[in-house]
Amino acid sequence: MTAGADSAVETLPVTASGDDEPGMDAGDRVVVIVGRCAGDERLEDELTARGWQVRVAGVPAGDHATCLEGITDFLAAPESPDRVVLLGRGEAGPTAMEFADDHPERVVAVVAVDSPGVEGHTPGDPVPEPPCPALVVTAADPGATASAVVSFLAGLDRQAVISARHWARLPALTPALLNAPEVIERLRQMGPVHRINAEGVATTWILTGHKTTTATLADPRLAGEVEITAGFRLQSDDPALAHRGEQDLITIDAQEHTRLRRLVGHYLTPKRVEALRPRMQREVDALLDAIPTGEEVDLLARFALPLPVIVLCDLLGVPERDRGYIHEWLVERMRATPPSAHGDIDDYLRVLIADRRNRPSDDLLGWVVEAEGDGLSENDLVSAARFLMVGGHRAPTTLLASGVAALLREREQWRRLVDDPALVVPAVEELLRFVTPFPVGLARNTTAPIDVEGTSIPKGNLIAASLVAANRDPSMFADPDTLDIGRAVNPHLSFGYGHHHCLGAALARAQAQIAIGTLARRFPDVELARDPRDLHYRQSRVRYLLQLPVVLEPDRHRSPAAGA
């Protein structure tokens, strides 16, 4: 991944397409230089001659925090381009890498020039692997630097996103491209199924229509001996369970997958979820009571992030004193990929289960222990609890934070909800459709050749659905790109379809209805504390906000945030 003054250039793999395929959009052909130095004139001239716009960010590169803030401010300006190539010199190189990791939707690629420690990413938190194509150049000669950068960007320019052969050439299965409705719309217009090139992942096909998705995911040839699911534990070393999907997922035996889903689904019924509503209401009120009302606060950190973890803790009977421990595991330790062992969590859950054997309790662990009796497999219940927690915290956070942000951007929709609290039920369904917390569904293995709308998919490939495409399919939804909390017919697929349908759907709906409904009732005048265009998102398997700055009870005499 490095290049010396006289050496060949190594880069993160970039799939080159044929010369007859389209290159990058003109709007993406922007290079922002951070830490500009003497000698960059040649590079700028070379790039300009090849149709690239070059901008220089007047950002001090010496201090990591100041540099990161400067890049953020530069790209938050109204006239800034939507997506750029970041070129960082010296200490600005690893800072550019970190910005790309936090905001992959804004960065096409990163170039680090003469940046010591960039591969170890010394200045900030580790970036396990760049979220976009990256080049590291070590070259004192400006000519060698210019040559390396121009060659690298030429490779990007040859990378086609969509071609007339219905192929999607993307750097990975889940980054910004599959979160973006406008890209998905282009894919859907080209056809209902597209092949994805993703390094380290088996050949994968993406479905891009509602009808195609429901028909294909119901096909029994997608239910085999193994299942790909959330990474709630380490990947097995068993060759029969070889994992061919992304790092944040694992492959498990299909029979085990069925057992775990049965354990959760049999006891987490809609009736039991309804009985939990008063407890969820108390937790929502307690969180909102603790937030200052007349000043800017991060609603993500203070409300949307802790609430799903608290709900899961309450569901499983985790004592209040241990909630911080579970929060630290789910929100911090579980971010690492591939999944780590975290055996302490298993030990903790076993202690809770043992306590339920001696003392029945009104929670999911208590219900299962009492009903299963001597036939209970403790290992299965431990796995099921982890399975539920790992799969059940991030999507509700995303729905709540991104949903509130969407409502506050569309002020008319927020006022409708405030004026008519009964709209909270269809509002949550519309936010599930509009936000689509998981943009891409879990991939399924093809156990036999399958035909999808005239495209033959071989045995052994993976098929995944673009839930964004299904949820914005104009053949199913009128004005699909419009947020309408009164939408009467809303067959969204945000909870998946078929045998991977989300087991926690009723729980997620209930907590969203309570949280958003309570927010609208208690703080009808809540405002975004900054321009909606300045909100930043992280995009992986889930597209989620990094912050949600709001004022719950704004001073009516001050001007609201522009566009809020």
Q: Tens digit of pLDDT for each residue in 440-479?
A: 887 888 889 999 998 899 988 888 889 999 999 999 999 9
Contact 32, 57 (CB under 8 A): yes
Please give the biggest Cα pair distance in the chain.
76
Same CATH topology for 171-251+439-493 and 253-427+501-563: the answer is no
Q: Which residue has the higher pLDDT, 238 or 467?
A: 467
Instruction: Report the phi/psi class of residue 256: left, alpha or beta, with left for phi > 0 and alpha for psi in -120 to 50.
Output: alpha
Q: How far apart are CA 469 and CA 210, in angstroms?
A: 7
What mean pLDDT is predicted for residues 154-165? 49
Residue 492, judged by CB atoms within 10 A of its CB (0-12, 13-18, 19+), counts as buried
Q: Domain ranges in the chain?
A: 30-116+129-159, 171-251+439-493, 253-427+501-563
Report domain 253-427+501-563's class.
mainly alpha
State yes or no: pLDDT of 413 exceeds 90: yes
Phi, psi of 515, rounded to the nearest 5 degrees: -65, -50
For residue 510, what are the CA distances in angstroms to 117, 308, 318, 391?
47, 11, 20, 16
Query: 171-251+439-493 domain in CATH 3.90.1150.10?
Result: no
Q: What is the DSSP letter of 169?
A: -
Which stretch of 156-170, 338-352, 486-500 has the lowest confidence by average pLDDT? Answer: 156-170
Mean pLDDT of 152-161: 64
**For residues 50 and 24, what is the distance between their CA atoms, to the nearest angstrom?**
13
Structure tokens at 306: 């802790």
3-state SS assignment for residue 63: coil
Residue 149 CA to residue 213 CA, distance in Å, equals 41
Question: Is pLDDT at 29 greater than 60 in this prediction?
Answer: yes
Residue 249 has pLDDT above 70, yes or no: no
Q: Which H or E element spans position 55?
A: strand 53-57
Peptide bond into 338 cis (omega under 30): yes
The confidence score (pLDDT) of residue 178 equals 66
- What percent of the chain shows pLDDT beyond 90? 37
Task: Say which residue the tokens 């985790």 belong to.
Answer: 318
Task: Give the tens place of pLDDT for each residue, 88-146.
Answer: 888 888 888 888 877 776 788 888 888 665 444 444 443 445 567 888 887 667 888 88
422: CB partners within 8 A, 6+ apart: none
Which residue has tokens 């990256």? 134
Has residue 24 got a pLDDT over 60? no
Phi/psi-derived region of residue 446, left when phi > 0, alpha when psi is between -120 and 50, beta in every other case: beta
pLDDT at 204: 80
The residue-averaged pLDDT of 238-254 equals: 56
- Residue bearing the bigger pLDDT, 343 or 510: 510
What is the CB neighbour count within 10 angstroms for residue 346?
15
**Element spanning 168, H or E:** strand 167-168
Q: Distance between CA atoms of 412 and 404, rounded to whole angstroms? A: 13
Cβ partners under 8 Å of residue 94, min gap 6: 64, 88, 112, 115, 117, 118, 121, 122, 123, 124
**Per-residue tokens: 108:** 């096409």
Q: What is the helix, strand, coil percentage profile of the chain, to 5? A: 45, 15, 40
**More confidently predicted of 383 and 11:** 383
pLDDT band for position 28 (cuts 50, 70, 90): low
Please give the pLDDT value at position 37.
Answer: 77
Q: What angle do CA 240, 243, 246 make, to 5 degrees?
A: 170
- Residue 342 gets the label, from left (phi > 0), alpha (psi -120 to 50) or beta, of left
pLDDT band at 248 (very low <50, low <70, confident <90, very high): low
Task: Show contacts of 67-75: CB within 8 Å, 24+ apart.
Answer: 67/34, 67/35, 67/91, 67/92, 67/95, 68/95, 68/98, 68/99, 68/124, 70/34, 71/32, 71/34, 71/95, 71/96, 71/99, 72/99, 72/103, 72/536, 74/32, 75/32, 75/103, 75/106
pLDDT value, residue 405: 95
Residue 14 reports pLDDT greater than 50: no
Q: Which DSSP string do the residues of 504-547 spell out, in sequence order?
A: THHHHHHHHHHHHHHHHHH-TT-EESS-GGG--EEESSSEEES-
* Secondary structure of 431-463 as H, E, C letters: HHHHHCCCCECCCEECCCCEEECCEEECCCCEE
Residue 564 vs residue 261, higher pLDDT: 261
Higher pLDDT, 381 or 169: 381
**Mean model confidence pLDDT for the chain:** 79
Alpha-carbon span 451 to 342, nearest angstrom: 41
Give pTM, 2 decimals: 0.70
Question: End-to-end alpha-carbon separation of the chain, Å?
Answer: 43
Does residue 2 have a pLDDT over 60?
Answer: no
Task: Please identify which residue in the block is written with the tokens 């929100």.
Answer: 331
CA 396 – CA 507 distance, rounded (Å): 9
